[in-house]
Chains A and B, each alone.
Chain A
Amino acid sequence: MERYILPEIPDYHKLEVYEQHGGYAALKKALGMKPEEVTDEVKKSNLRGRGGACFPTGLKWTFMPKQTTKPKYLCVNGDESEPGTFKDRQIFEFNPHLLIEGTAIACCAMGITTAYIYIRGEYGKWIKMLQKALDDAYVKGYVGENILGSGFSTNIYLHKGAGAYICGEESALMNSIEGQRGYPRVRPPFPAQNGVWGCPTTINNVETISNVPLIINRGWEWYSKIGSPKHPGPILVGVSGHVNKPGVYEVATGELLTDLIYRYAGGIPGDTKIKALIPGGSSTMILRGDALEGVRMDAESLKAAGSSVGTAGMIVMDENTDLIRVITRIAKFYYHESCGQCTPCREGTGWLWKILKRFETGDGQTSDIDLLMDIANNIEGNTICALGDAAAWPVQSMIRRFRDEFEKRVSKTPNGSPEPSDRNRHAEKTATVSL
């Protein structure tokens, strides 16, 4: 497939090169259109968010109020902290102007005069590169006052994160921009009503926004025919784990997972079998390696397979992988990153990890497997933000699909079970309180 997001053009990150290849033409075109027409174009293209939830982008834009006395905001989400995800980084490095152009077009479509690009704080090199590109765009009048003489003005600011995964969650991101603690907000109200600074706000992923200039340039009909009809377009797939050529691959949606692994990422070292696959970043449900045949990288196919596209960050695990170690590490990540605001996630993530750690060292009990499932179920759906779900799904899917791995790790010397009948032991445990 031709590459659109990451074209193979040397020095494409430089403004002159970008311009030479037709850069910022989409912005010019959009400035000549009515805002609703721009949104409509995006809507008809069927572009779906690349930030994890595959939410239809055009539809999201229509949530923004047309009549409002308040300023409106766009937050472009480049926090990119999900384990297994490193695709937005490629855009920062190789095609920053596409992102800037898309941001300006989105602003134009929604009548937004301020956009923030929230960028992962650890991305030092890429922050500099993006800032340079932004400065150049300002100088050339693609951003700022009276863009290209159109009368439309919008400012774009880079905002650096400070290392918290939760700040990639859209409402925590807005709090973070406001200088508040990175706590997700209770919804409703939704960002389009009450977002950053209490004003209407749209949040889109970096890659999502980078698709917008393509749609405006070539039209929705062209775009909607790329890849899977219900989830079309080019998509950046990050492949990591046990593959010969880990990296980010731009493909059309609907690519077979097996092709991504074997054709693009060069197969598995030592040609061993695939034991398990996480298709879209650590939050997505883990799939069995023997159930990958025919599964494609798009929302519908992965849903049918019992998982989701997420951020299209694939983690490949070969047959020698210790999946208990994997899930323990994933659980540790969510435990470490839980913001601690709401009870089920704050308490449940730590509990999951502590039990899993016992499995890791061979100290699990059979009853702990069901307990893990119960805890995950009790977190899922009951929290303020989706980090709770993200912590629950890997555990649930791992138990559902690899229960035998847990059973193998059950302690040979049972030390009791946490059944109701076993109250005295608990009483003993909790009696040794240090004060």
Chain B
Amino acid sequence: MAKITIDGNQFEADNKRTIIEAARENGITIPHFCWHPKLSVSGNCRMCLVEVEKLPKLVIACSTQVAEGMIVHTNNERVENAREAVMEFLLINHPLDCPICDEAGECKLQSYSYKYDQGYSRFQEDKVHKPKRVELGPRVIFDAERCILCSRCIRFCAEVAGVPQLQFVQRGDHTLIETFPGESLDNPYSMNVVDICPVGALTSRDFRFKSRVWEMSFTESICQGCARGCNIEIGARNNEILRLTPRQNDEVNSYWMCDHGRLDTFKFVNAETRIKAPMIRKDGALIEVGWDEAIAKVASELKSFKKAEIAAVGSAFATNEDNYVFQRFAREILGTKNVDFMRHVVEGDEDNILIRADKTPNSTGAKELGIAPGEGGMGFAEILHGIKEGKIKALYALEDDLAATPEVAEAIAKLEFFAVHASNENATTHSADVVLASSTYAEKNGTVTNFRHRVQRVRPAVTTLEQDRALDGFEMSRWDKFAAQNDTWGKGPRRDARASWKIVSSLATLMGAKFRYNSADEIFNEIAQKVEAFKGLSYLKIGKKGAQLKAKASVAA
């Protein structure tokens, strides 16, 4: 450890730390563009120049290691002048097109301009012009004029994604980012460069021009793309999700997420195929009905079968809370031991970065909370077999497109009664007798457990009909907070969907039980009491970054 002084404050710092790291650990942010905590040091932007007493020149805080007795100034006149000079240099050839730039509002260059720039330009010459709208890859667009050549994107590809796809070409102020000849920026993590690009040089083909960032609300949630459970932020406007971005969590995903998670796990929330209300099959067609009617229909149908003729299939896509209430219902009300869920493992589709072969966010949670056959009960394969043999006649299933798999579809076709919770039309809803419109992960509170037994929170980012945005703890955009009367979040479609735990609870109540859950956290508190691994946990304790479960455990059958 070394005793160092930064701006008059004394700290102890590990000798291996650089000044920028030591400062950061002690709550002092030294302005920087090219430095990133998870990438190698490139030292090129020169924004973090600081003064170290006894050294003749200013030094860059990102590459200078602390030493015993070091006295650092990050804000004296000399440092401020150097910083102002760096800002001036960065801006002379910059197009200054913030008004049409996607990055505006979350741009380091823009923010630092307000803070550290002199506020006027001394540059009278012609700017250097460079290529714009370059397709670096299928998902990322490059504007070379906005690029400040920090090399973060290059280092990300080489060091994190493990595929050096980008490089500088040309020299001096004509330098550009390019892919290597014949290559494209197409690695499965390519879009992270959009997040770490400190300016608007790299934009997401999917998101660009969709919204100014201050018009969106940002909700902390968990990606539903695989068992990693990357921490994300959901960006929404007008009750529509516009983008997902990774949220730092060193225990799970560092600062990153994969492109699949980013692009393919939210669009169903906005999709035309959304189930807008509960439906009952009448004369062969699914007809929208009220909730009471749908639930009564399921209750009366399920009552007409023997316990052993019913199977209950939970879901690795549903939350812990949904699955917990569902398995209680299956065991206590339906009295069936035929409880399980369907696995979605794509063998080989995994890597040692983030991507997992298990394509569900909550298989660990489903298992841990009792979505498993009771003694002598049937597992998923046996249930399918049972249906084919006529032993299982009724199936009640949580959010999962079971029938997308042909052999499952074949079995389902033989059922006498099939009720399913679903958010979108799919092969499964097409063969269901009752479809219960369920909220997506982005419309409810809950938790999911990742493959390492980490419980993490999902939160509502967009609202359904039954929710009250003001009361249900939604995040606010700057629009939400400061806009006029016609609150913009009220716009956009709102579906008559409900959280699965709520639907199951209504059904249980109708069938004579007392499932009096008013909110997801009430259910979680019950889990925390009843399930050993969850002992002592609460939504508060899970917080933003999740909580590690003590050991594997399951609810007693």
B167 to A, closest residue via Cβ: A181
Q: For chain A, residues 307 to 365, give those with C-beta under 8 angstroms from any C-beta of chain B.
A: 335-344, 346-351, 354-355, 358
Total residues of chain B contacting the partner, CB 8 A: 46
| Neighbour of A340 across the interface among B46, B57, B118, B168, CB < 8 A | B168
Highest count of chain B CB atoms <10 Å: which of A181, A336, A344: A344
Q: A350: shortest Cβ distance to chain B, in Å? A: 5
Known: A344-B46, A347-B89. A338 touches B171 (CB 8 A): yes
Are A186 and B41 in contact, CB atoms less than 8 angstroms apart? yes
Known: A381-B58, A382-B82, A430-B96. A347 touches B173 (CB 8 A): yes
> Would you call A420 an interface residue if the criterion is a C-beta within 8 Å of the partner chain's C-beta atoms?
yes
Are A343 and B122 in contact, CB atoms less than 8 angstroms apart? no
> Would you call A175 an interface residue if the criterion is a C-beta within 8 Å of the partner chain's C-beta atoms?
no
> Would you call A378 an interface residue if the criterion is a C-beta within 8 Å of the partner chain's C-beta atoms?
yes
Q: B446: shortest Cβ distance to chain A, in Å? A: 44
Are A426 and B46 in contact, CB atoms less than 8 angstroms apart? no
Are A382 and B46 in contact, CB atoms less than 8 angstroms apart? yes
| Neighbour of B44 across the interface among A342, A354, A371, A434, CB < 8 A | A342
Known: A186-B60, A434-B129. A378 touches B88 (CB 8 A): yes
Known: A340-B170, A340-B172, A340-B174. A378 touches B125 (CB 8 A): no
> Beta-carbon contacts of B86-128 to A below 8 Å, as 1s and 0s?
1011101101110010000000000000000011111111101
Q: A357: shortest Cβ distance to chain B, in Å? A: 8
**A contact residues, range:** 35 or more
> Would you call B85 an interface residue if the criterion is a C-beta within 8 Å of the partner chain's C-beta atoms?
yes
Are B171 and A382 in contact, CB atoms less than 8 angstroms apart? no
A378 vs B43: C-alpha distance when bound (angstroms) = 17
Known: A339-B172, A344-B89. A351 touches B123 (CB 8 A): yes
> Beta-carbon contacts of A48-84 to B below 8 Å, as 1s and 0s?
0000000000000000000000000000000000000
Known: A342-B44, A343-B46, A433-B96. A381 touches B57 (CB 8 A): yes
Q: A121: shortest Cβ distance to chain B, in Å? A: 15
> Would you call A141 an interface residue if the criterion is a C-beta within 8 Å of the partner chain's C-beta atoms?
no
Are B168 and A343 in contact, CB atoms less than 8 angstroms apart? no
Chain B at the A interface: SS class: loop
> Would you call B538 an interface residue if the criterion is a C-beta within 8 Å of the partner chain's C-beta atoms?
no
Highest count of chain B CB atoms <10 Å: which of A166, A343, A358, A426: A343
**List of A residues within 8 angstroms of B126 by Cβ:** 354
Chain A at the B interface: SS class: helix
Are B122 and A371 in contact, CB atoms less than 8 angstroms apart? yes
> Would you call A429 an interface residue if the criterion is a C-beta within 8 Å of the partner chain's C-beta atoms?
yes
Are A384 and B43 in contact, CB atoms less than 8 angstroms apart? yes
**List of A residues within 8 angstroms of B86 by Cβ:** 343-344, 382
**List of B residues within 8 angstroms of A358 by Cβ:** 125
> Would you call A266 an interface residue if the criterion is a C-beta within 8 Å of the partner chain's C-beta atoms?
no
**List of A residues within 8 angstroms of B96 by Cβ:** 430, 433
**List of B residues within 8 angstroms of A430 by Cβ:** 96, 121
Are B132 and A346 in contact, CB atoms less than 8 angstroms apart? no
> Would you call B49 an interface residue if the criterion is a C-beta within 8 Å of the partner chain's C-beta atoms?
yes
> Would you call A418 an interface residue if the criterion is a C-beta within 8 Å of the partner chain's C-beta atoms?
yes
**List of B residues within 8 angstroms of A336 by Cβ:** 171-172
**List of B residues within 8 angstroms of A181 by Cβ:** 167-168
Are B43 and A186 in contact, CB atoms less than 8 angstroms apart? yes
B82 to A, closest residue via Cβ: A382
A369 vs B167: C-alpha distance when bound (angstroms) = 37
**List of A residues within 8 angstroms of B128 by Cβ:** 350
A342 to B, closest residue via Cβ: B44
Q: A102: shortest Cβ distance to chain B, in Å? A: 32
Known: A339-B172, A420-B120. A433 touches B46 (CB 8 A): no
A355 vs B44: C-alpha distance when bound (angstroms) = 25
> Would you call A423 an interface residue if the criterion is a C-beta within 8 Å of the partner chain's C-beta atoms?
yes
| Neighbour of A347 across the interface among B41, B42, B93, B167, CB < 8 A | B93
A131 vs B121: C-alpha distance when bound (angstroms) = 53
Are B125 and A355 in contact, CB atoms less than 8 angstroms apart? yes
Per CB-CB distance, the 3 closest pairs between chain A and chain B, nearest first, are: A378-B85, A186-B43, A340-B175
16 extra A-B contacts, CB within 8 A, seeds A340-B149, A344-B85, A346-B172:
A181-B167, A336-B172, A340-B171, A342-B43, A342-B45, A343-B47, A371-B122, A382-B86, A384-B43, A418-B122, A418-B123, A422-B120, A429-B124, A433-B96, A435-B95, A435-B132
